[in-house]
Amino acid sequence: MFLSISLPIIQRGTEGFWKSVAHYVPREPTEMRILNPYFIQEAAFQFIGLPLNNGLMGKGNIPTLGTVAITMALHNCDEVAVAGFGYDMNTPHAPLHYYETVKMSAIKESWTHNISKEKEFLRKLVKANIITDMTNGI
Protein backbone atom coordinates (compact mmCIF):
# COMPACT_ATOMS: atom_id res chain seq x y z
CA MET A 1 0.00 0.00 0.00
CA PHE A 2 2.69 2.47 1.02
CA LEU A 3 4.71 1.76 -2.14
CA SER A 4 1.73 2.07 -4.46
CA ILE A 5 1.03 5.51 -3.01
CA SER A 6 4.64 6.68 -2.75
CA LEU A 7 6.19 5.48 -6.01
CA PRO A 8 4.20 7.74 -8.35
CA ILE A 9 5.27 10.73 -6.23
CA ILE A 10 8.97 9.91 -5.92
CA GLN A 11 11.13 11.35 -8.64
CA ARG A 12 13.14 8.56 -10.18
CA GLY A 13 16.79 9.29 -10.89
CA THR A 14 18.80 7.05 -13.17
CA GLU A 15 22.22 8.67 -12.87
CA GLY A 16 25.17 7.04 -11.11
CA PHE A 17 24.25 3.38 -11.52
CA TRP A 18 26.86 0.97 -12.90
CA LYS A 19 24.37 -0.37 -15.45
CA SER A 20 21.46 1.26 -17.22
CA VAL A 21 18.31 1.37 -15.13
CA ALA A 22 15.10 -0.20 -16.43
CA HIS A 23 12.35 2.32 -17.06
CA TYR A 24 9.67 -0.35 -17.20
CA VAL A 25 9.24 -3.75 -15.54
CA PRO A 26 6.76 -5.99 -17.38
CA ARG A 27 5.05 -7.27 -14.23
CA GLU A 28 1.94 -6.48 -12.26
CA PRO A 29 2.48 -4.99 -8.77
CA THR A 30 1.05 -8.17 -7.22
CA GLU A 31 3.86 -10.16 -8.86
CA MET A 32 6.64 -7.98 -7.42
CA ARG A 33 8.63 -8.74 -4.29
CA ILE A 34 11.04 -6.44 -2.51
CA LEU A 35 14.11 -7.83 -0.78
CA ASN A 36 14.36 -6.73 2.81
CA PRO A 37 17.55 -4.62 3.06
CA TYR A 38 18.25 -6.32 6.39
CA PHE A 39 19.61 -9.34 4.51
CA ILE A 40 22.09 -7.15 2.62
CA GLN A 41 23.21 -5.49 5.84
CA GLU A 42 23.52 -8.79 7.69
CA ALA A 43 25.49 -10.42 4.86
CA ALA A 44 27.83 -7.45 4.48
CA PHE A 45 28.57 -6.35 8.00
CA GLN A 46 27.71 -9.20 10.38
CA PHE A 47 28.61 -12.27 8.32
CA ILE A 48 31.33 -11.21 5.90
CA GLY A 49 32.72 -8.38 8.03
CA LEU A 50 32.90 -5.73 5.33
CA PRO A 51 33.84 -2.17 6.35
CA LEU A 52 31.03 0.23 7.27
CA ASN A 53 32.69 3.19 5.47
CA ASN A 54 30.69 5.66 7.57
CA GLY A 55 27.46 4.34 6.11
CA LEU A 56 28.51 4.86 2.49
CA MET A 57 28.01 1.89 0.20
CA GLY A 58 30.22 1.13 -2.75
CA LYS A 59 33.85 0.91 -1.68
CA GLY A 60 34.26 -2.84 -1.35
CA ASN A 61 31.42 -3.19 1.11
CA ILE A 62 28.53 -4.43 -1.04
CA PRO A 63 27.97 -8.19 -0.95
CA THR A 64 27.15 -10.03 -4.18
CA LEU A 65 23.51 -10.88 -4.72
CA GLY A 66 24.44 -14.56 -4.43
CA THR A 67 25.73 -14.10 -0.90
CA VAL A 68 22.66 -12.04 -0.02
CA ALA A 69 20.48 -14.86 -1.37
CA ILE A 70 22.34 -17.40 0.77
CA THR A 71 21.87 -15.15 3.82
CA MET A 72 18.14 -14.94 3.15
CA ALA A 73 17.94 -18.71 2.56
CA LEU A 74 19.62 -19.38 5.91
CA HIS A 75 16.72 -17.54 7.56
CA ASN A 76 13.98 -19.27 5.58
CA CYS A 77 15.12 -22.79 4.74
CA ASP A 78 15.93 -25.92 6.72
CA GLU A 79 18.71 -26.83 4.29
CA VAL A 80 20.66 -24.65 1.86
CA ALA A 81 22.49 -26.11 -1.14
CA VAL A 82 24.21 -23.90 -3.72
CA ALA A 83 25.55 -24.52 -7.21
CA GLY A 84 27.80 -22.43 -9.40
CA PHE A 85 29.33 -20.32 -6.64
CA GLY A 86 32.97 -19.39 -6.43
CA TYR A 87 35.16 -17.17 -8.55
CA ASP A 88 38.05 -19.11 -10.08
CA MET A 89 40.67 -16.44 -10.71
CA ASN A 90 42.89 -19.05 -12.38
CA THR A 91 40.54 -18.99 -15.38
CA PRO A 92 40.30 -15.27 -16.21
CA HIS A 93 38.62 -15.89 -19.59
CA ALA A 94 35.80 -18.03 -18.18
CA PRO A 95 32.38 -16.38 -18.02
CA LEU A 96 31.66 -14.56 -14.76
CA HIS A 97 27.97 -15.51 -14.92
CA TYR A 98 26.17 -18.08 -17.03
CA TYR A 99 23.86 -15.42 -18.48
CA GLU A 100 26.35 -12.87 -19.84
CA THR A 101 29.65 -12.53 -21.68
CA VAL A 102 31.60 -10.67 -18.96
CA LYS A 103 34.78 -12.57 -18.12
CA MET A 104 36.02 -13.73 -14.71
CA SER A 105 38.86 -11.19 -14.80
CA ALA A 106 36.30 -8.37 -14.52
CA ILE A 107 35.57 -9.20 -10.89
CA LYS A 108 39.14 -8.22 -9.96
CA GLU A 109 38.31 -4.68 -11.07
CA SER A 110 35.15 -4.57 -8.97
CA TRP A 111 35.07 -1.65 -6.57
CA THR A 112 31.79 -2.76 -5.02
CA HIS A 113 32.47 -6.37 -3.97
CA ASN A 114 35.19 -7.90 -1.81
CA ILE A 115 35.35 -11.34 -3.40
CA SER A 116 38.15 -12.70 -1.20
CA LYS A 117 36.20 -11.90 2.01
CA GLU A 118 33.01 -13.37 0.55
CA LYS A 119 34.79 -16.54 -0.51
CA GLU A 120 36.26 -16.89 2.99
CA PHE A 121 32.76 -16.53 4.49
CA LEU A 122 31.26 -19.09 2.09
CA ARG A 123 34.08 -21.56 2.77
CA LYS A 124 33.35 -21.31 6.50
CA LEU A 125 29.69 -22.11 5.84
CA VAL A 126 30.64 -25.17 3.77
CA LYS A 127 33.25 -26.38 6.27
CA ALA A 128 30.74 -26.08 9.13
CA ASN A 129 28.14 -28.00 7.06
CA ILE A 130 25.78 -25.03 7.21
CA ILE A 131 25.43 -25.02 3.42
CA THR A 132 26.17 -27.67 0.80
CA ASP A 133 28.28 -26.71 -2.22
CA MET A 134 26.88 -28.98 -4.94
CA THR A 135 29.47 -28.03 -7.58
CA ASN A 136 32.55 -27.64 -5.33
CA GLY A 137 33.21 -24.13 -6.60
CA ILE A 138 33.64 -22.52 -3.21
Please give the pLDDT value at position 42: 93
Per-residue pLDDT reduced to its tens digit, 3-41: 565 555 555 566 666 667 777 888 888 888 888 889 999
Per-residue pLDDT reduced to its tens digit, 101-135: 888 888 777 778 888 899 999 999 999 999 999 99
Q: DSSP letters of 91-131?
A: -TTSBSSTTS--BGGGGGG-SS--HHHHHHHHHHHHHTTSS
Per-residue pLDDT reduced to its tens digit, 69-92: 999 999 999 999 999 887 777 888
Distances (CA, A) of 31 to 12, 34, 39: 21, 10, 21
